[in-house]
Structure 1
Amino acid sequence: MIEITEDMETIIKQAMLSFVATVNEDGTPNLSPKASLTVKNGALYFADIASPRTIQNLKRNPAVEINVVDIFQRRGYRFKGRAFLLPSSDDEHSMIADWVRATNGPEYPVDHVVKIETTSIAPLLSPAHVFADPRRSQDEIKSTYYQKYGVKPLAE
């Protein structure tokens, strides 16, 4: 498994929403938003709260890709790997289910917990990073997109 760095973990926490891609039975892509993606003990996990298709797909084909982008920093990561459905008796399952309920409330169902064995990780950079000339700083990029979305940053 490839190491999840501190920067990757920070982006996951700041982005708050990721997108998990799996493969449907007919070979077409299935994309599912996840607000439960987290890093614990150096590994990626997400909870199945309302994603039966994602779980069906992973039971048949464990190939998965997860994209996470901080919309204000205009950067993120692409995680590819193999998904493992953890049994409900597993300590890692309990750790993630407890975290989801503590974060969202006890009424949130956690039907499954998925652990990702990462096989590749690549940065995702928007054109704001790639094509700007001269290169803009991360602070300039964030300021631009705070304005574009009409929001003000929380105290950083």
Structure 2
Amino acid sequence: MIEINADVEATIKQAILSFAATVNEDGTPNLSPKASLTVRNGVLYFADIASFGTILNLRRNPAVVINVVDVFQRRGYRFKGRALILPPGDDEYRMIADWIWVTNGVEYPVNHVVKIDITSISLLLSPAHVFPDPSRSQDEIRKTYYQKYGVKPLGK
């Protein structure tokens, strides 16, 4: 089993939005946004809230790639693996569904929970870590992209 370290978990929490890639029946790629990617007990999960196509694809072919990138830090991770679709009633389903309902409200449907058996984790770095100056710190990169997107960090 591939371990999810503290930096990976923190990046998932900070970035919030991730993208899951699956394969359509005709072999074309399907890319689906996921705001429910989470780590529990060292395992990666996401909820099927409105993921009909993703679930259909994973039933045919469980191969999945998920990218999560913190837009301000310009870094993230790519997870490759195989998906297991957990139905309502499963204990792990309930753990993730309860988190979704506490976080977002009970009106959010959780049709399934997808558990990822990770086969690889890769660090993703934007060219911002090299250009224009490879000696820039992570704080400098973050400040640059806060300014670029016109946002201010909370509490400042």
TM-score by length of 2: 0.97
Question: CA distance change for structure 1 residues 53 and 138 in 2, over 3 Å: closer, same or farther?
Answer: same
Kindly state the Cα deviation for residue 155 of structure 1 after the two structures are TM-superposed: 3.2
AA aligned opposite 1:34: K
Q: Displacement of 1:154 after TM fit?
A: 1.2
Find the counterpart in structure 2 of residue 125 from structure 1: 125
Q: 1-side partners of 2:116 and 2:134: how far apart?
A: 38
Moved more, 126-135 or 21-30: 126-135
Q: Does 1:110 align with 2:110?
A: yes
**Structure 1 residue 134, shift from structure 2 partner:** 4.1
Normalised by the length of structure 1, the TM-score is 0.97
The AA in structure 2 aligned to 1:153 is P
Q: By how many angstroms is 1:89 displaced? A: 2.0
Amino acid at match of 1:17: L
Cα distance change of structure 1 residues 132 and 92 upon mapping to structure 2, 3 Å threshold: same
Structure 2 residue aligned with 1:22 = 22
Query: What does 1:79-118 align with in structure 2 at a 5 Å threshold?
Result: 79-118=79-118
Structure 1 unmatched ranges of 5 or more:
none
Q: SS of the counterpart of 1:31?
A: strand
> What pairs up with 1:59-70 in 2 under 5 angstroms?
59-70=59-70
d(CA) in 1 for partners of 2:22, 2:134: 38
Structure 2 gap segments, 5+ residues each: none
Question: 1:56 is matched with which residue?
Answer: 56
Residue 57 of structure 2 aligns to which amino acid in structure 1?
N
Partner SS, residue 136 of structure 1? coil
Report the equivalent of 1:72: 72
The count of corresponding residues between Structure 1 and Structure 2 is 156
Contact 2:87 2:111 in 1 (8 A): no
Which residue matches 2:7?
7
Deviations 1:93-131 (A, max 9, x none): 000000001110010000010000000000000001133
Per the TM alignment, residue 50 of structure 1 is displaced from its structure 2 partner at its CA by: 0.4
Could you tell me which amino acid in structure 2 is paired with residue 90 of structure 1? D
Provide the rounded CA distance (Å) in 1 between the counterparts of 2:43 and 2:149.
Answer: 32
> Helix, strand or coil for the counterpart of 1:97?
helix
Deviating beyond 4 angstroms after TM superposition, the runs of 4 or more aligned structure 1 residues are: none
Identical residues among aligned pairs (%): 77
Give the alignment's Cα RMSD to 1 decimal: 1.1
